[in-house]
Structure 1
């Protein structure tokens, strides 16, 4: 079972500030409801099974929000709420209705992909659809292996008992246009998000580079004082430790730019980033200060605080990094703390929160997934945790939980991963979603 996934798709004509030049996706014209039903797998990136997907159409005629939830999740929630008065937590309907309203939805196409009987499916999704119907016009559909039809249609001349052939959905003009636009479709949710291991020769090169970088860092710490004392661990500004961390952040930015260029040239492709550089980045991310700096670098306007975080490890008042004790830093450290809190507020605080930039998020995901694909498991926890944070920030709770669980499997003591797992278990949405009324 996967939690509700809420994915914001940018207007293809207006990707928003900070989008990479040339990164604007071509518009795909959808002229009928059937076209929109056909587009669901491409919008999600995989072929949904036993799930309800809602596609919001705004007053401007664009897709404003796409959300998916598993039918088993809905059935379990319905059973749990029957014995809880009031319910112990907000349900799918309570979180989804304000979000649909918040994006200015005029029409909503609800698509149930299921091999189950149509009437049985209708009973499972009824609470959600009834709640959405109070907000906008809802057009429900059922896509089964045997065919597709209106979920509520009882007219056999309109919807045959076995539905219309699904080939009409899979091979239409809209799907062809979405593929051209770079929207690839995986056979399942699991396959869409599987990180494929790199060939063994490349993994060996990455592992050697990571080990060399880790040994060099350990030698520098030993030279600085045998690994004891605050400055030996954290390094004052200008120290060798500070320069090493800053170099790690610079390597991240270099790989991020490389990935962005590659993805503009081949949307949906896998950038070739070099196993040695990926190995060095894995070793750099094992340092909490570098990991936090990388996370901050993804937040619009936080480049300066990211560099200051890498240069000198600040205390963290907001839970971004609590893996190590904070170093001394006096007023400068306090300034970094304040700047860090303001940056993180743009992720978690609905009053000032922003959604992640699509181009930057895609490049960051490509780099971090390539790190995981190339290095041994002992280096996996930091990049997987960052992937989990990024997925959560984008509103993809299912993917965030998958990446976070994998990070904890690699390192059960990785505190940011444990913290994120708690956020996900509590179904706390990112700030930009909550600003639209979710949660």
Structure 2
């Protein structure tokens, strides 16, 4: 058995320049799992599917406690595997509990996979403990000693070295892998001041534009704020986003993400801007290949008047154009017939901007950025990171609409269009390896 995994640092689809890592055996797949996830799995079940063309097509993880319920998660993972042309599925338990206590949970997943795959694929069950690893069904002590083979074989072998050379790191836990650490106090102070100024300018812009109601709870216009039409304010705010993404993309080509520092004042200004729905929608659309026109129209329509286009008679036509352009762009995310994955460079740059915004800006501005990060994670096929960011967004603002929509998408296990078109499930992290 050989499978090729193409490395992509942020968890999204691989780019043509990603170096492949060749996996020749089930043990190689076991060694690759922490690198595929980005962290060391604990107390969970991981399913790895290898496709007919030798790709790692699906990596799914669910907690052992969830598997102890009515089997729903086992069936969900099996349905995801069924969308992949699977020739080998590994079911791996990561636990420090005795094998006898968790064996039934592996059996539930194996049984669900067997029902879906209908014996067209080999299914192997493994267990990895702090003391070692072994096949659950292996009775050959020369292959799998009762206490298991040493875990160091997996962690310090050729596969791990290949991933390290490719730039892949492993966090100690999922929480550590996905935690956004606060920026330095001086950075947070500058971003907070810029966000307050931008919010006052937004209030002034809406006050200065006819027929545009002020948002509930919007602060009064501050002293020294020069009002501009709301469309102008939105276009300028969207321009800040475009400039930051462009800067992030340029710096990521030269430096690791941890060494890139974006301007705190511009991050603060963007944080306040994302509270404006048309600006947030334009930001989302700008991430979609071919969506830049829809993004420009989304903020450009505001120059004619309010968010609903009520300030002039031509706005109705403009609003219709925006809706058509937006529908065309969104179809490239959700429609399997035309769905495309995100551009890796754009997605990496956008993720960096949004994560640095969350690190720098006050918590009251986090919800839109976290919801956009959830959208990016879902689009890239990283279901559990998307769910985490949705929960974080909802904690900041339980009424945030984009986070609510994404929560429904995740609950229904709706995959992005490119995943459906490729026959890959959305309930799990999706990799896009290529045969080298």
TM-score (norm 2): 0.83
After the TM superposition, which residues 36-435 of structure 1 pair with which residues of structure 2 at under 5 Å, given as runs? 36-78=29-71, 91-133=72-114, 134-225=119-210, 228=213, 240-267=229-256, 269=258, 271-313=260-302, 326-328=308-310, 329-435=315-421
Query: Which structure 2 segments of 5+ residues have no match?
Result: 219-227, 427-436
Q: 3-state DSSP class of the match of 1:47?
A: coil
Q: 3-state DSSP class of the match of 1:401?
A: helix
Report deviation, 1:267.
4.9
Q: Distance in 2 between matches of 1:37 and 1:10?
A: 13
Distance 1:242 1:227, change over 3 A: closer
- 8 A contact 2:58–2:81 mirrored in 1: yes
Distance 1:246 1:304, change over 3 A: same
Deviates more, 1:47-56 or 1:110-119: 110-119
- 8 A contact 1:183–1:268 mirrored in 2: no
Report deviation, 1:30.
2.2
Structure 1 partner of 2:223 = none
- 8 A contact 1:113–1:142 mirrored in 2: yes
Q: 3-state DSSP class of the match of 1:76?
A: coil
Report deviation, 1:101.
4.3
Partner residue of 1:27 out of 12, 20, 26: 20
Q: Distance in 2 between matches of 1:63 and 1:350?
A: 21
Aligned length: 397
Deviates more, 1:40-49 or 1:171-180: 171-180
Q: Distance in 2 between matches of 1:206 and 1:110?
A: 46
Distance 1:186 1:19, change over 3 A: closer
CA deviations on 1:93-126 (whole Å, 9 max, x unpaired) are: 4443454344433222332211122233221122
- 8 A contact 1:97–1:135 mirrored in 2: no
Query: Which structure 1 segments of 5+ residues have no match?
Result: 1-8, 79-90, 234-238, 315-323
| Higher relative contact order, structure no. (Cα contacts within 8 Å, ≥ 6 residues apart) | 2
Q: Distance in 2 between matches of 1:48 and 1:110?
A: 13
- 8 A contact 2:84–2:425 mirrored in 1: no
Structure 1: which 4+ aligned runs deviate by more than 6 Å? none
Q: What RMSD, in angstroms, separates the aligned Cα atoms of the two structures?
A: 2.8
Q: Distance in 2 between matches of 1:60 and 1:426?
A: 29
Deviates more, 1:424-433 or 1:138-147: 424-433
Report deviation, 1:331.
2.0
Deviates more, 1:49-58 or 1:294-303: 49-58
CA deviations on 1:213-247 (whole Å, 9 max, x unpaired) are: 222222233333596499xx9xxxxx832232122
TM-score (norm 1): 0.82
Q: Distance in 2 between matches of 1:76 and 1:326?
A: 47
Q: Distance in 2 between matches of 1:265 and 1:29?
A: 27
Distance 1:157 1:305, change over 3 A: same
Report deviation, 1:193.
0.8
Report deviation, 1:128.
2.1
Distance 1:268 1:101, change over 3 A: farther
